[in-house]
Structure 1
């Protein structure tokens, strides 16, 4: 269970402040990481039945010139904890990136805490532990935080009723984490086999006890799931719409990029005309959870990732140092583009540059 400080991320606003015919306002401070002078990020306001919601366009990224990492030892000595993204930083698909084992061993030898945070929801923490082991990396399950776990942890933090069900558009990782947390669920990969026979007068039934729809990356995504999730969100009173992440692309193999979980989430956004609560990066939910669990000061954390709009923004929203590696999605031309407004504190080619006092030239 989360501590009071993290669980209080969802705060109901007093009903006395509501307009006639309006519904309660929930302030999701910790979840969003978005910033606004008018109201907290992630707020859902339903006034006269017209929902208003903060989106990623409201994020205020850090706008300063980034520096190439030249003195790795100085950065290492300045923090206590390193949070690493996985895809594009530790591995690509099922292939380990060069120099990773030696780098992690060196950081542990220096007494640094290592944490691994991934937006990929296809596996549970236990399953990710097995992947690390298969790749020859000694990583404890307690050091791994996937967005599948974040979805279950969020439901725990709001005391989601145990008599309600969760409909899952996603894979086994979400199901396993929900089961470990004691929640009832339906959907998942099994619904990937279902088909809808459209004929005159056909009405698709759905479970009215579903109180939340969780959407993650799903290789078994189909029209049945879109319609079922849409019915739950639109017709079940108070049904939550939760996304593990909105990543545009992901690394399923090391040969190319593949459509990410954001494509599945986008389909439900289109059909429901609602924005989801995002529990993965760049939402600060997992950052606050980690800081609370390990008793870490965020100023003593360095977030290392390959994506500007998720990893680096995640670190910046959490008040951490940030290091971009160019071993994954982001290239040097993307980083230096005038259109890019998200600037990390440092950048380098790959995390094995930590092994040299002078980081490798990009």
Structure 2
């Protein structure tokens, strides 16, 4: 589909609305920018989710944000009238655990991520190294002595780390270079983290990219839009007919591209990190949604 042909769901004719609603059984939603911002829920989302469920749609969730604990997600969803089960939500730490178990991975892991992310790996039985986190004396000798380590690390994992520093990247690079079989695994690869309108943060995608360039290794990406994640999502949500799934996201490079990889229908909402102008200027077919809406709340009016 050309970006010039993307239709707003509230501009569809009555018959087009009926055909659209009848074309999917399951809705898979991104979270940040679709259900809420960093600071507050997006207006009308609780009613939209209730409306979709009332019309027989199954709703599941996937996010690149593993900074939140599952308990935090449960509380956030409760505010939207949703009782969240562990099987309803996929995020990078969960995807990494599934991948490692599916490959019968054994060995030491060096992890650049939040404490929440690392705790999920440890609870799954994996042994982790991390750090150094404390500030170091500004001396090459001190840094080299700190990062030089011969531990038999079999995988380096990179996700969001609010305390990322130069020594951590250096240590990750050394582990990857010391062992040609050491895996480079990335969770979220977002290069932009949307916080609120006109306020974005540098994302972890740049840091995994640094390690790719420095070591010549290609990261195994287990956040959106990673191809290894596709099979996990189809299996976890028992999806036999991807074309009957509507994927809702707010980012072109992560959400819409991932929906394309999965063979889903794709809806972009403008409540997060993408403007209508950016959407209309997109030329990569994999990044072009099938439909768009101002927010998920438009479904309330659509069904009326």
The normalised TM-score by structure 1 is 0.74
Q: Give the helix-richer structure, 1 or 2.
A: 2
Deviation of 1:73 after TM superposition, in Å, equals: 4.9
Please state if 1:198 is matched with 2:139.
yes
2:244 matched to which residue of 1? 300
Instruction: Choose which of 86, 97, 100 in structure 2 pairs with 1:155.
Output: 100
Residues 124-151 of structure 1, C-alpha deviations (whole Å, 9 max, x = no match)? 4444323333566432222111112111
For structure 1, which runs of at least 5 residues remain unmatched after alignment?
1-61
1:23 matched to which residue of 2? none
Deviation of 1:172 after TM superposition, in Å, equals: 2.1
Please state if 1:278 is matched with 2:218.
no
Q: Pick closer, same or farther for the CA change 1:338–1:322 going to 2, 3 Å.
A: closer
For structure 2, which runs of at least 5 residues remain unmatched after alignment?
none
How many equivalent pairs are there?
Answer: 294
Alpha-carbon distance in structure 2 between the residues aligned to 1:241 and 1:109:
43
Alpha-carbon distance in structure 2 between the residues aligned to 1:310 and 1:200:
40
1:214 matched to which residue of 2? 157
1:25 matched to which residue of 2? none
Deviation of 1:111 after TM superposition, in Å, equals: 2.4
Q: Is the 8 A contact 2:28 2:61 kept in 1?
A: yes
Q: Pick closer, same or farther for the CA change 1:333–1:253 going to 2, 3 Å.
A: closer
Alpha-carbon distance in structure 2 between the residues aligned to 1:72 and 1:172:
45
Higher relative contact order by CA 8 Å / sep ≥ 6: 1 or 2?
Answer: 2
Alpha-carbon distance in structure 2 between the residues aligned to 1:206 and 1:137:
46
Alpha-carbon distance in structure 1 between the residues aligned to 2:284 and 2:260:
15
Alpha-carbon distance in structure 2 between the residues aligned to 1:196 and 1:154:
38
1:66 matched to which residue of 2? 6
The normalised TM-score by structure 2 is 0.87
Q: Which aligned pairs between 1:1-362 and structure 2 lie closer than 5 A?
A: 65-69=5-9, 70=12, 72-133=17-78, 137-161=82-106, 164-187=107-130, 191-193=132-134, 195=136, 198-200=139-141, 202-203=144-145, 204-252=147-195, 256-297=199-240, 298-337=242-281, 339=283, 341=285, 342-357=287-302
